Amino acid sequence: MGLNETKGSWCLLTTRSKPVADVVSTHLKMNSGPYFLGKLSRDECWSIIKGKVMSAGEEVPEELEALKKQILGRCDGLPLAASLIGGLLLNNRREKWHSIVQESLLNECQSEIEQILKVSFDHLSPASVKICFAYCSIFPQDTELEQDLLIELWMAEGFVQPYRQNQRLMEEIGGDYFMILLQNSLLEKVEESWRGTYYYKMHDLVHDFAKSILNPESSNQNRYLALGSFEGLAENTTRTIPASIRTLFLHLEGGVSTDMLLRFKCLHVLRLSGDDVESLPSSIGKLLHLRLLDISSSGIRSLPESLCKLYNLQTLTINDYALEGSFPKRMSDLISLRHLNYNHYNVELKMPVQMGLLTCLQTLKFFNVSQKRGCGIEELGTLKYLKGSLSIRNLGLVKGKEAAKQAKLFEKPDLSDLVFKWESGDRESDNREEDVLEGLQPHPNLQGLEIHSFMGNKFPQWLINLSKLETLRIEDCERCSELPSLGQLPSLKRLSLIRLDNIRFIGDEFYGITANGEEEEEGRSRASGSSARRRKFFPALEQLYVRDMRNLVDWKGADQVRSTVGEAEADVFPLLRNFYIQDCPQLTTLPCSSKSLHVENCNNLTSIKTGYGTASVEDLKIDSCDNLRELPDLDLFGSSLQRLTISFCPRLISLGVNGQKCPLPCLERLIIWNCNGLTTISDKMFQSCPSLMCLWVEGCPNLVSFSLNLQETPSLEEFTLANCPKLIPHSFKGFAFATSLRELSINSPFSSDDSSVDDFDWSGLRSASTLRELRLEGLPHTESLPHQLQYLTTLTSLSLQYFGGIRVLPDWIGNLVSLETLWLWNCEKLQSLPSEAAMRRLTKLTSVEVHFCPLLRQRYTSQRGIYYLEEEISSDPTSSESEEDESTTMN
């Protein structure tokens, strides 16, 4: 397997088979045998079962308590067994619990899991859920399953049928089946934290059981077959697939011929994949029973006209942006189509003519309005089942309000997200666009809305009545002179305002402050006989993103709002967590604070005021604010501030100089970068920073006052000080107390006269037993290294830069016995590494990297343990350093 313990490599192997564990242990010559995971305790199993059966805080039912001993005996400490039994009880009436538990105990020859799975399967109801469960095993183990895809597949196979007695959609019924499987623990829900989304999977034992049902060994033909990419087939080998196949997932290493598809006329589901599959043959139109076609993982770039003969097709899935031409002309003949899973950025892509005939359609990601007959916005009117997200583009072609109303968006309650896009660029100003937007009024259920390139002066009234709206993005609306009254939207969580060039002031109307509003509020309070309630503005807003508002001069702040409404305790942005504001060059003050505050390219901003909410800031970033001169007293941030980053603020003179002491007990990262005017960083900032882990100060050429006692920062792991030439070395003490320090990069003490080097706290640094990486920078005339370096024997990485006068590295480098990597940069006169004997002592050294050291000819090779000449790295010392970076790795 290529594992080498001395190189730090390792492998974790899990198995349920003890013989496998023993063989692997013997083969790898492990010092100890396999580690056996213990089973769960009875209390832990009982906790899982209660969590499935009951709500939080609910008492254990008597019926369940009476069966506790038997249930836990059957679980035998297995979490899957506990979860399955819990799900089984949850989905059955209490009077059946006793008989269900007895069933799970009947067959003692089977394992606990097998018997419980059989009982769970037998009790699935309605009966259609059973085949839906078994069908999930068509996917390989550990496949990340999507709910909508599974339901579309079930529908295509006919496992889900509409109820005759009501009007429920098949998708809704399929959703019920899915929840039954989830509640019975036959499917597991998995969260992807980095994306904030969910997928579903089957436990491998559950998968094996489902597979035995879907394609039993007693059957001589598979009706459902999935051949993944690792089983890619040439076309001639597909002849072994039975012609009666109903579901076929096929990854091909070649194209698809007409004859191949004609062999599978019974297909309900076809998924074609493979980069070599570049075209769909016209014979696809002969698969009259086909209900789901997925070509999203293929190289197909066009659709044949014969596709339009698939009158039973329910789902068509195409790789986004794949189509190079247009849709087939008679696509409106696909009268059973429910889901068109395809998106395309091109606003000129022509939509199928008369899409309004596809009255079953639910999934439509975009609609490009066209002047072509049968491609106008009125085609959306008959698509009453549309759901999810829809982007409507080219709205400049819509004639007016009445034409827009023909889309009947107000009658589509299942649309969760809408995007309205006009053509970008200058257009004549009239009221037509305002009328069109007025006519596009959506259903009140709408959760997300984007408006792009709208050239009206104001927004419609319906926008402020969307009580379920969570996300709003307004972008490139250049003529808009006033924002809608968004402050009273009860569910709004995310708001983005981008390139609204005509907005100069944001005031009362934005917050929803009007005289009529105050009178109505007072009237409601009197009618209820209560005192006036505390008013709220943007009560649910969590993220506020503002960018390229180049003419925005004044934004009424939270404190001003309270003053206007006469309530000192009014809640303004009470839940705001992220406030990002960029490229607002005229703005002089910020309206509010938040947990994370990021300010960039606001050149007229002179200070960050300490208004309401400052004490809640956890992450403060200020970047490229040319006129910023001061920050608020840092002690006003209280105990919340964790990360502070300031960069490219040339007029910022001092940091942390106000007040007495700056207690920042939660500060973890402080980064100050390229602030040319900064002269002072107060030592008061670090008098109480027990949580500081990263301190980075770089590119501050006028910084003269900055001292640090590392005894005050016991958690510091990384300390970088670079390009601050006016600092002196004795400003930094207490390295002996830096019990967490792992990385140190410092050049300022070594950019002054050579005598100042001795004033540095070398003795303390020598005591820093955790130090692993050190980067030092000298001056062009520096002729020797600080001799104190030889005592830093814990270093694993050493980088030396700009020691321009050094000719030979000293032999005491060999004392750095833990060294693994040595970096040499811009040492123009360096001709030789230490002696061979010294280098041989560096037994852990794996690489020496050389950059811009033209005279260095010798190279250490760890494999040989000797030097050898590498003429290629030698260059003319008089040659220009503007040439491409010369880098040599010696290993």
The top-scoring range by mean pLDDT among 239-253, 541-555, 637-651, 730-744 is 541-555
Least trusted range by pLDDT, from 138-147, 324-333, 509-518, 615-624: 509-518
Q: Strand, coil or helix: what is 848?
A: strand
Element (H, E) at 183: helix 170-183
Last residue of a domain, one of 119, 139, 158: 119
Do residues 862 and 880 both lie within one domain? yes
DSSP for 464-505, written as a single string = GG-TT--EEEEE--TT--S----TT-SS--EEEEE--TT--E
pLDDT at 64: 87
pLDDT digits (tens, 9 = 90+) for 426-476: 666 668 999 999 999 999 999 999 999 999 999 999 999 999 999 999 999
Least trusted range by pLDDT, from 57-61, 596-600, 714-718: 57-61
Measured between alpha carbons, how far is 486 from 489 in angstroms, rounded to an integer?
A: 6
What average pLDDT does range 801-827 have in this prediction? 91
pLDDT at 732 over 90: no
pLDDT at 742 over 50: yes
Range of 882's domain? 772-891
What is the token pair recorded at 229?
A: 């990419």
Q: How many domains does the chain have?
A: 6
Cα four-point dihedral sign 469, 473, 479, 482: positive
Measured between alpha carbons, how far is 822 from 849 in angstroms, rounded to an integer?
A: 6
pLDDT at 439: 97
Q: How far are the Cα atoms of 2, 21, 30, 33 from residue 26, in angstroms, in the given order?
A: 16, 9, 7, 8
What average pLDDT does range 546-565 have in this prediction? 90
For residue 619, give the nearest of 597, 649, 646 by alpha carbon.
597
- Long-range contacts of residues 868-875, Cβ cutoff 8 Å, at least 24 apart: none
Indicate whether 879 belongs to any domain. yes
What is the token pair recorded at 236?
A: 């001639």
Measured between alpha carbons, how far is 762 from 168 in angstroms, rounded to an integer?
A: 77
Last residue of a domain, one of 448, 464, 480: 480
Do residues 327 and 358 both lie within one domain? no
pLDDT at 873 over 50: no
Do residues 414 and 301 both lie within one domain? no
For residue 456, give the nearest of 425, 489, 482 by alpha carbon.
482
pLDDT at 463: 96
What average pLDDT does range 98-124 have in this prediction? 81
Q: What is the CATH number of the domain that holds 105?
A: 1.10.8.430
Indicate whether 58 belongs to any domain. yes
Do residues 137 and 59 both lie within one domain? no
Task: Assess contact for 844 and 878: CB atoms under 8 A.
Answer: no
What is the token pair recorded at 77?
A: 């400490």
Is residue 259 classed exposed, middle or buried when 0-12, 13-18 and 19+ CB atoms within 10 A define those classes? exposed
Residue 324: pLDDT band with limits 50, 70, 90:
confident
Do residues 427 and 316 both lie within one domain? no
For residue 630, give the nearest of 607, 660, 605 by alpha carbon.
607
pLDDT at 636: 64
Is residue 161 classed exposed, middle or buried when 0-12, 13-18 and 19+ CB atoms within 10 A define those classes? exposed
Q: Which residues of 54-76 are buried (b: 16+ CB within 10 A; e: fewer)?
A: beeeeeeeeebeebeeebbebbe
Is residue 568 classed exposed, middle or buried when 0-12, 13-18 and 19+ CB atoms within 10 A define those classes? exposed
Return the higher-pLDDT residue of 643 and 229: 643
pLDDT at 568 over 90: no
Task: Assess contact for 564 and 532: CB atoms under 8 A.
Answer: no
Least trusted range by pLDDT, from 54-68, 188-202, 652-666, 825-839: 652-666
Do residues 361 and 471 both lie within one domain? yes
pLDDT at 658: 58
pLDDT at 657: 60
What average pLDDT does range 217-246 have in this prediction? 66
What is the token pair recorded at 768?
A: 């820093």
Mode of pairing for the β-strands spanning 708-709 and 694-698:
unpaired
pLDDT at 208 over 80: yes
Q: Give the residue ranges of DSSP H helices in 287-414.
A: 401-405
Indicate whether 726 belongs to any domain. no
pLDDT at 157: 95
The DSSP secondary-structure symbol of 338 reads -
Residue with the two structure tokens 């006692």: 709
Element (H, E) at 53: helix 42-53
Return the higher-pLDDT residue of 753 and 164: 164
Q: State phi, psi for 64 to the nearest 5 degrees.
A: -75, -40
Q: Strand, coil or helix: what is 116?
A: helix
Return the higher-pLDDT residue of 110 and 485: 485
Do residues 263 and 366 both lie within one domain? no
Q: What is the CATH number of the domain that holds 191?
A: 1.10.10.10
Residue 9: pLDDT band with limits 50, 70, 90:
low
Average pLDDT across the chain, whole number: 84
What is the token pair recorded at 147?
A: 């709910």
pLDDT at 757: 66
Residue 305: pLDDT band with limits 50, 70, 90:
very high
What average pLDDT does range 93-111 have in this prediction? 77
pLDDT at 235 over 90: no
What average pLDDT does range 182-211 have in this prediction? 87
Indicate whether 257 belongs to any domain. yes
Least trusted range by pLDDT, from 73-77, 685-689, 790-794, 826-830: 685-689
Q: What is the CATH number of the domain that holds 288?
A: 3.80.10.10
pLDDT at 493 over 60: yes
Indicate whether 606 belongs to any domain. no
Do residues 453 and 394 both lie within one domain? yes
Residue 883 neighbours by CB distance under 10 Å: 9
pLDDT at 661: 57
Task: Assess contact for 634 and 656: CB atoms under 8 A.
Answer: yes
Element (H, E) at 775: strand 773-777
Indicate whether 741 belongs to any domain. no
pLDDT digits (tens, 9 = 90+) for 134-186: 999 999 999 999 999 999 999 999 999 987 777 789 999 999 999 999 999 99
Residue 729: pLDDT band with limits 50, 70, 90:
low
**Do you find a cis peptide bond into 877, omega within 30 degrees of 0?**
no
Task: Assess contact for 598 and 566: CB atoms under 8 A.
Answer: no
Residue 194: pLDDT band with limits 50, 70, 90:
low
Amino acid at 877: P
pLDDT at 108: 59
pTM to 2 decimals?
A: 0.85
* CA diameter of the chain: 94
Task: Assess contact for 365 and 342: CB atoms under 8 A.
Answer: yes
Residue 252: pLDDT band with limits 50, 70, 90:
confident
Task: Assess contact for 262 and 284: CB atoms under 8 A.
Answer: no
Hey, which residues does 307 pair with through a beta bridge?
none
pLDDT at 547 over 70: yes
Hey, which residues does 496 pair with through a beta bridge?
473, 545
Residue 681 neighbours by CB distance under 10 Å: 25
pLDDT at 871 over 90: no
Residue 499: pLDDT band with limits 50, 70, 90:
very high
What is the token pair recorded at 754?
A: 């050579």
Last residue of a domain, one of 67, 97, 119: 119
pLDDT at 404 over 80: yes
Indicate whether 520 belongs to any domain. no
The DSSP secondary-structure symbol of 595 reads S
What proportion of the chain, given as a percentage, has pLDDT over 90? 49
Do residues 203 and 252 both lie within one domain? no
Residue 295: pLDDT band with limits 50, 70, 90:
very high
pLDDT digits (tens, 9 = 90+) for 628-687: 888 766 666 667 889 999 999 999 998 876 544 566 788 999 999 999 999 988 887 887
pLDDT at 160: 95
Residue with the two structure tokens 């907005």: 503
* Cα 724 → chain centroid: 36
Do residues 170 and 201 both lie within one domain? yes
Q: State phi, psi for 622 to the nearest 5 degrees.
A: -125, 120
Indicate whether 521 belongs to any domain. no
What is the token pair recorded at 42?
A: 């009875």
Residue 531: pLDDT band with limits 50, 70, 90:
very low
Do residues 425 and 385 both lie within one domain? yes
Q: Is 569 left (phi over 0), alpha (psi -120 to 50) or beta?
A: alpha
Do residues 203 and 311 both lie within one domain? no
Element (H, E) at 654: strand 654-655
Q: Strand, coil or helix: what is 370?
A: coil
Measured between alpha carbons, how far is 199 from 192 in angstroms, rounded to an integer?
A: 8
pLDDT at 388 over 90: yes
pLDDT at 860: 43
